[in-house]
Amino acid sequence: MQPAEVPTITEIPVTDKDAGPYGIAAGPDGALWLTFVHKGSIACLGLDGALTEYPLDSPECRPMVIAPGPDGAMWFTRNQDHRIGRVTADGVTEAFEVPSPDSGPYGIAAGPDGAMWFTEMNTDRIGRITVQGEVTEFPLPVEGGFASAITAGPDGALWFTLNQANAVGRITTGGDVTLYPLPTPGAAPVGITSDGVALWCVEIGAGQLGRITTDGEIEEFPLADRAAKPHAIVGAGAGECWFTEWGGNRVGHISVSGVNPASGELAEISAYDLPSPSSEPHGITVGPDGALWVALETGSVARVAPAPRRAQPRRA
């Protein structure tokens, strides 16, 4: 029998191994939404296991990251044909051109201003798109930065990673940009999330996690396996995140809540093997059922049900 603190991980096949489940997000309809990056389609997965797939107009468009929008639809990036996609709960899709040619949109997130914000990997820009499809672009003060993931911060701004500039950026809804270099050279940040208090990023090149306060103070936490290649991360509460280890075929968990710095421990970090070898975990999200859901590029989705927290002994 597994120890009580070990989560239960179940894999659910959703497509063939060549379709490539990549991005995953919980929708307002109570379902999980997926991008099939190699097949050029979007899929909706119910908690009962029912799957509905919606092919896009271009099989080669490479849909990557997906996120819920303020209009009740799901919005996603089309990295290969440089467009932003939208799909309604009943599967109606449309796409909007990004003004800069060959922009390579990747990360996308809803902002506090009622619009979607996205990164442009190839053109050093952050984009903003309204629910009507109007796009505004904001240039970044860097060349070749490879803007990657983006998330809404607890301070009313958007925060993003710059994979090749080794930095985390902040952009206000008015377009003002500030960059914060990471302490470790070659950290190559990708995923980023908010835990409601601070920002967290994964450093795929250094095998670390980074925590960034809204004032830009950065603390880094090395993983036990420095070759794990952490890829995506999601906040699960203040001081607590789950993340994927693409190179280690694992799902990881970090918590700084309740850890006593005087003991020399700054965080509790755990990692859990996925059932299938070399499953290539990418996107991760908290589902409507409270479990973690992970997109596995080899054709499945993993559901990670965290074990109930053990009650702490009461002190006299």
Q: Which of 82, 231, 253, 282 is catalytic?
A: 282
- According to DSSP, the β-strands at 116-120 and 105-110 are antiparallel
Q: Which amino acid is at 41?
A: S
What DSSP string runs through 80-144?
Answer: TTTEEEEE-TT--EEEEE-SSTT--EEEEEE-TTSSEEEEETTTTEEEEE-TT--EEEEE-S-SS
Distances (CA, A) of 58 to 45, 66, 70, 132: 22, 17, 25, 22
Pairwise CA distance, residues 201 & 177, whole Å: 18
Pairwise CA distance, residues 201 & 212, whole Å: 8
Sheet holding 158-162, edge to edge: 147-152, 158-162, 167-171, 177-181
Instruction: Give the residue among 305, 280, 308, 285 at the shortest CA–CA distance from 31.
Output: 285
User: Which three-class secondary structure state does DSSP give residue 209?
Assistant: strand
Answer yes or no: 282 catalytic: yes
Q: What share of the chain is helix, strand, coil (3-state, %, to 5)?
A: 0, 50, 50
**∠ Cα 114 88 106 (to 5°):** 65
Q: Which residues are catalytic?
A: 282
